[in-house]
Every structure is written in C-alpha cells, then in structure tokens.
Amino acid sequence: MAGRGRGRGTNTSLTQEQMQALGIARGDNAPQVLAPPPLFPKLETKPLPLNSDAATDYMVIVKDQFIEYLHESPAYVKANRETDGIERYSDKYKLLALDANKGRVLDCVWANFPPELRPQASRIRPSSRKRKLDDPKDIEKRLQLLEKKETQENTNEMMATAGDDNKKQDDIDEDLEDEEEQEDEIDDGTDYANNYFDNGEDYEDEDDNLDDDPVY
Amino acid sequence: MSHQLGRLVAQILQRYCGEIVEKVGNDLFMYGSKPIAMIVKSTGLPRTQVIESLRTLMKFDLAIFEATGPHVDYKLLPDNVLLLIRYPRYLLQMKSKYGTEAELIIEELLQQATCSATLLLVTIANKYKDDKDKNLTIVTLKDTFISLATAAYIQQAPVAEMKEGSEIPNLVQVATIVPDLDTRALMQAMANPADIKDNIYWKVNYDRFHQDFRDDIMIKAMTRRIDDTAGEVMRLLLQQMYLSSAAWAEESNAIPVTDLRESSRLTDKILLHQHLEHYLKVMEENGAGFIRRADVLDHVVTERLGSKAARIFRLIRAKKYVEEEDIQKNAMLPNKECKQLTYKLLEEHFISVQPMRKSQQVSGTQKGIYLYHVKLFEALHVCREMCYSSLHNLSRARSQLVSEHGRALDKQRRVRTIVHGMRMRSETEESINDVLETLTPPEVNLLAQVEKQLKQLSTAELELDRNLFILNWYLHYP
C-alpha cells in the first residue's frame, strides 16, 4: 500500500516514455551511490600549460614585492597578541619586529577621510561599568561581613549574648539577608525552578469520559 | 555580487592586508554599507583595529564612504580589490612601453595609493640615488611624470570639499591639469624632504591601462586572424578613433578613409599604403565586430569537457534554438555520447533548456519539446564564477603551501639575510659557505620544489586575471 494516496500510478515523477526520451532505458538505472563525492575529484581534462617567459617572471616578482611592501607597511593590521606568560627565546625577534611597526600610522590624505578615521579623533570610549567588588575596600568589607557572620553563628551556639552585640549583629544579618534576597530574585528570573511535576493521578480520568463518544 | 566573489575578495584581502582587514572587508561585503559601530559589533574586533582596517581599505581605494547627514557608512568595492592582482600587469605595461622611470613612478604611486607629485618624485630619486645602473636624475623623472600625466596614466585624486557645519568631506572629481614642476624646487625638496608643501595629489588611472590592454588584445586578434599588416591597420584605426570619439564608446564614429590614408603615409610601410583598401575590405567582411565573445567560451568548453562538447556547444549557438534530436543528427556523434555531453553542458550551465508543451494534446503521451539554446550572458557569468572560484582556490592553495613549509621558508630567509650581510662586510668565502651549509640538501630540495610550486600558482593567478579582464570586457559591451 505504500505509495498510494499521492497521485496514481508510478511513484516516479516521469513516465516511461519521458524516461526513454531522456535516454534512460529499462534496467539501465545506475546503481545508487552512497559514498560522498571525493574531496578532490579527478581532472577529466588536462589543463593547458602555463606559459612562462621573462614577462611572467617579472610580474611574479613584482607581485611578491608589492605584497611584501604591504605586509611591512602599517596597512597590514596586526592583532594585539596576548602573551601566555611563557617567555620564549624567539620572543626577542618577534618583539623587535612588532616594535618597528608599532605606533606607525598609515599616511593618508586625512582631509579626504571622514573625521572618525583621522588619528587625532580617537573618541573617548565610555568606561565600562565597574564591577561591584573590584574595589579592594569593598572586598574587605564583604570579607569582614562574612567573618562576622561566622563568629555570630558560633556565638549563637554558645548562646552568649550581649545587648550591644545583638544590635550590631542584627544589622549585619539584615545586610546579608538583603543580598541573599537579591540573589534569589535573580534566580527566580527563569522558570527552571518552577515545579512542573505531574504525579500521574489525572491520567485515567480523561479516558473514562472519552469512552462514551469516540472521536473520529 | 556572488558567493564566489565574496570568497575571493576575502582571500585577497587576507593575503595582502592581513586577517583583520579581511574580517572587516568581508563584513562590509556581506552587508553592503555599514557604519563603524555596526562593524565593531558584528566582527567583534576592537574599535581601533576596525578604524585601522578601514584606513587601509580607504587608502587603497578598496572602500568608499557615504555620508548622510552626520552618519558615515562604509562600502567595499570588490572590483577594486580584484585589481590588486592586476598591479604587476600595469607595471609590465609601463616598463615595456615607457621604460624604467615610468615603471618606478607607477610602482611608487601604487604603493602610496595617493601621493603628491613632489613627494613622489623626491622619494624615488632618494631611493635610487646610490643605484648606479639605473642612472636616475630628478629631471628625467620629472619629464616622465609629466608625460604620464599627459597620457592620462595618472590623474589627480578627488579633492575634498568641506560643507559648512559638517566635518565630513565631500570628494569631488577634478579635471587633471598637467603640472608644471620646477626643477630647482625639486632639487631643494630632495635635500630636505620634510618640508614639502605640495597638496595636489595624484593617483593611478586604472581605466587608461585597461584601455591599453583592450587595444592590445584587439590588435593581437587582428594580427592572428589576418596578418601583421592588418594589425597595423587596426592600430591606425584605433588611433583615429581616440581623436574623434570617447574611449569606451561602443562604436567609434565613422572614420574617413582619407584620414587613414594620411596616417598610413606617415608610417613608412609601402605595402600597407598600397593595399590599405584591400585590408579594410577583408576586415570588414571578416570582422562583424571584433569582439568575438563566443570564441572564449568555446575555448573554456573545450578545455573543460573536450572538443566534442565544444562541437555541440557551437552547433547550438549557431542554430540558436535546437531540439535534442537535431543536435544528435548534426553533431555527428554516437547517440548516447551526444546525449551525455549535452546533459553535461546543461549541468554546468553552459546551455539552457526551454521546455515547450503542446497544448492541444489533452491526454495520453504528453510529449514536450525541449529546445536547447545558449544564453550568452549567463554562460559568461558562469565562466566568471569559475574564474573567481579557481582564483580563490589558487590563493588558498598558496597559503596552505606557505604555512606548511613556513619553518623551512623562514630558515631560508634568515640564512639569506645573514649571507647578504656577510657579503656586504666582505667576509671570507669560507665562512659564507659555512652559513650556507646550515641548509641541508633535503631542505634545499624541498625549498626549490616549494618555490617552483608557488611560482606556478602565481603565474596561474595572473593568467586567470587576464581571463577575467577579457570576460569583464565582454560584459561591458552588450
């Protein structure tokens, strides 16, 4: 029964006659190729030989010269390479080559360029927002806070309380709780934490109703 | 603006200007025009590097900017990127036609992209001051420069015009005025190049070179088809054409025979003068337009699929619209082979098919007629795409080769510089040989092989560029 339901007759798109017109006879089908085509297919025809004379040689040399010139000029933009912290012997030479090129600006006719490309017009980039804990003072404060919390827990166990201390610790607790709350809020931003668990109790209920009038 | 072109442009930029410029260039190619901020965002490069790359692109005329109000959009010019490969050809043309001075001027100007006349001449003169075999003087350089400007091989760069209230310049093309350079001033500038105050900038006029190439091709074609004298006639015709009509016009204005006769009298070729009329007649009959587009395509087909396919291709072209059976009858090939080749041609998009259905027959055997024909422009585009992709492949193969043998090539370079230094210090032959021997024989063999391959690839690149030039030129004249 396969192949029924979409048009009638054969499951190919062409009739026998059309196939024949295209030059495909019965039983003439090529075996299916399952392997991918080769990465470097064989050349069916040989390419023409390249002519090499003095003019060509000259052009090849000139071309290489031009490329070399460009590579040494500031037109060749180099990435700022980050060192991995390991000192190598070859660094000496590489750095020398880099230093020679560093700070050189392409000499252009600046009047013909839009202002944003001109050298003096280096726009001051907006300083990226400081992270909260980058300041050493902040880190210290935070560490103190945590330390105090630890000691407080210890003291709680020991049930040693003093009125003055309590007040202070309450403050600290509030501080900490505030931060924890903030973190919680961020966590709640996604719905991963939501409970989608289905205990499967409703499973049978639906079926009972459907028994009476089936859906066609 | 095809995929292949994009790949090729990226590859060329990578080879000439490095990876970062390539990234920026590719980004511009994909999106058309873009402001800096967008480029920074989509490439993920630091802003300073994007600016540097844009400077490079703009300097060498590979990109332009468009200003709308305060915004500046940048746009890549892929055609000009392709011209980078053609630079050596310009230089060769200069060297063979106008000599070393002209070559040096054009070379320096290509390297500087835009440069003022004084600075250009002074740099060249200073660079080759100690070179005895070149024997350059500032005077000859100046004369060559002026003659090049007169012949329009170099032209004035566009001048920036400032609008009021905006910082963005507006580039305006200016007519080239042949400069009047003062020799004494040039001599002074040579002594202290720092204080040159020449603000008329020059650049190379690619179009003029292309025009030369085109003429060369036409003359060569005539010479090959008929004979040398016909080539000569062609040259005269072209000369007359430049006097009377625009250089890139499709047809020249009519040229009176008498003019031709006049000019042929100047050239002392008696044969030419006597048989001018005959030659003109032959050319008229034979010519039917000098541009024989299809010939090139024929060659491409022959080289790729063999001469039999080329026969079919020619047949279809000659008959315009052909049915398949007619091809089989006329191509004089075995039936099956003929079909195979036809389909192959179809597959490679050299020919196209036009189905025609007979509408009267309602049912039964619906036999369509398939007419084969050649869409010349499509086939040309196919060819061009092939050129692009193979150029890209060549360039890739090259960089692959270089990176594979990078270590050996580096070593060779270092040894060469050391030996050069030793020669300069005129050290003993023995110690030089010691240094040379650090390259082991297998290494030397390998390097020779690599060098040969690199040269072959380079040559192929130049050749392909030549083809591209011809193809583009065909597309230029519809």
Confidence band for B293, pLDDT divided at 50, 70 and 90: very low
- Residue B10 predicted with pLDDT over 80: yes
- Cβ contacts below 8 Å, chain A against chain B, sum to 128
Helix (H, G, I), strand (E, B) or coil at B132: coil
Q: Is the dihedral of CA B298, B304, B306, B312 positive or negative?
A: negative
Closest CA to B218 of B468, B473, B464: B473
- Residue B258 predicted with pLDDT over 60: no
A131-153 average pLDDT score:
78
Distance (Å, whole) CA B112 – CA A66: 11
Distance (Å, whole) CA B98 – CA B94: 5
**Paired sense of beta strands B352-356 and B369-373, if any:** antiparallel
- Residue A165 predicted with pLDDT over 60: no
A69 assigned to some structural domain: yes
Write the pLDDT tens digit of every residue in B117-152. Answer: 777 888 887 777 766 666 667 777 888 888 888 887
**In B, which residues are within 8 Å of A60 by CB distance?**
88, 455, 458-459, 462
Q: Range(s) for CATH 1.10.10.10 in chain B? A: 3-77, 296-348
Is B43:A73 a contact under the CB 8 Å cutoff? no
- C-alpha separations of B5 from A189, B21, B204 in Å: 46, 17, 24
The CATH topology of domain B296-348 is Arc Repressor Mutant, subunit A (1.10.10)
A22 assigned to some structural domain: no
A112 assigned to some structural domain: yes
ipTM for the whole predicted complex goes beyond 0.90: no
**CA distance, residue B17 to nearest chain A CA (Å):** 4
A106 assigned to some structural domain: yes
Instruction: Give DSSP secondary structure letters for B391-447.
Output: HHHHHHHHHHHHHHTHHHHHHHHHHHHHHHHHHHTT--HHHHHHHHTTS-HHHHHHH
Residues 121-150 of A with CB under 8 A from B: 122, 125
B5-26 average pLDDT score:
86
Assess A185–B contact: CB distance below 8 Å, yes or no: no
Distance (Å, whole) CA B186 – CA B117: 10
A60-67 average pLDDT score:
84
User: Which residue on chain B is closest to A53 by alpha carbon?
Assistant: B459
> Cβ of A50 and B60 within 8 Å?
no
Is B248:B211 a contact under the CB 8 Å cutoff? yes
- Residue B287 predicted with pLDDT over 50: no
When comparing pLDDT for B280 and B2, which is higher?
Answer: B2
HEC letters along B171-192: EECCCCCCCCCCHHHHHHHHHC
Residue B64 DSSP class: E
Q: Select the CATH number that applies to the domain covering B3-77 from these four: 1.10.10.10, 1.10.357.10, 2.10.109.10, 3.40.50.10330.
A: 1.10.10.10
B265-270 average pLDDT score:
49
B84-100 average pLDDT score:
84
- Residue B5 predicted with pLDDT over 80: yes
Name which of B47-56, B224-233, B310-319, B416-425 the model is least confident about.
B224-233
Distance (Å, whole) CA B108 – CA B112: 6
Q: What percent of chain B has pLDDT over 70?
A: 72
Assess A67–B contact: CB distance below 8 Å, yes or no: yes
Query: What's chain A's average pLDDT?
Result: 66
Give A20's Cβ-side CA count (13 Å radius): 6
Number of neighbouring beta carbons within 10 Å of residue B323: 14
Write the pLDDT tens digit of every residue in B296-333. Answer: 566 666 666 667 777 777 777 777 777 777 777 777 77
Instruction: State the pLDDT at residue B456.
Output: 84
**CA distance, residue B86 to nearest chain A CA (Å):** 9
Assess B169–A contact: CB distance below 8 Å, yes or no: yes
Structural domains of chain A, count: 1
Instruction: State the pLDDT at residue B359.
Output: 56
Distance (Å, whole) CA B228 – CA B478: 29
Distance (Å, whole) CA A79 – CA B188: 41
Is B386:B424 a contact under the CB 8 Å cutoff? no
When comparing pLDDT for B406 and A110, which is higher?
Answer: B406
* Global confidence as pTM: 0.66
Confidence band for A215, pLDDT divided at 50, 70 and 90: low
Confidence band for B290, pLDDT divided at 50, 70 and 90: very low
- Residue A53 predicted with pLDDT over 60: yes
Is B204:B156 a contact under the CB 8 Å cutoff? no
Write the pLDDT tens digit of every residue in A79-102. Answer: 666 666 677 776 666 666 666 556
| A10, A11, A15, A20: CA torsion to nearest 10 | -110
Q: Domain span at residue A99?
A: 54-77+90-117
- Residue A125 predicted with pLDDT over 50: no
Is A71:B20 a contact under the CB 8 Å cutoff? no
Query: What's chain B's average pLDDT?
Result: 75
Residue B113 DSSP class: S
Instruction: State the pLDDT at residue B116.
Output: 80
Distance (Å, whole) CA B386 – CA B254: 38
- Residue B52 predicted with pLDDT over 80: yes
Assess A97–B contact: CB distance below 8 Å, yes or no: no
B249-257 average pLDDT score:
50
**Closest CB from A47, A59, A106 relative to B59:** A106
A13 assigned to some structural domain: no
CATH architecture of B208-287: Orthogonal Bundle (1.10)
A162 assigned to some structural domain: no
Query: Which amino acid makes up residue B451?
Result: E
> Cβ of A59 and B91 within 8 Å?
yes
- Residue A147 predicted with pLDDT over 70: yes
- Beta bridge partners, B66, equal B73
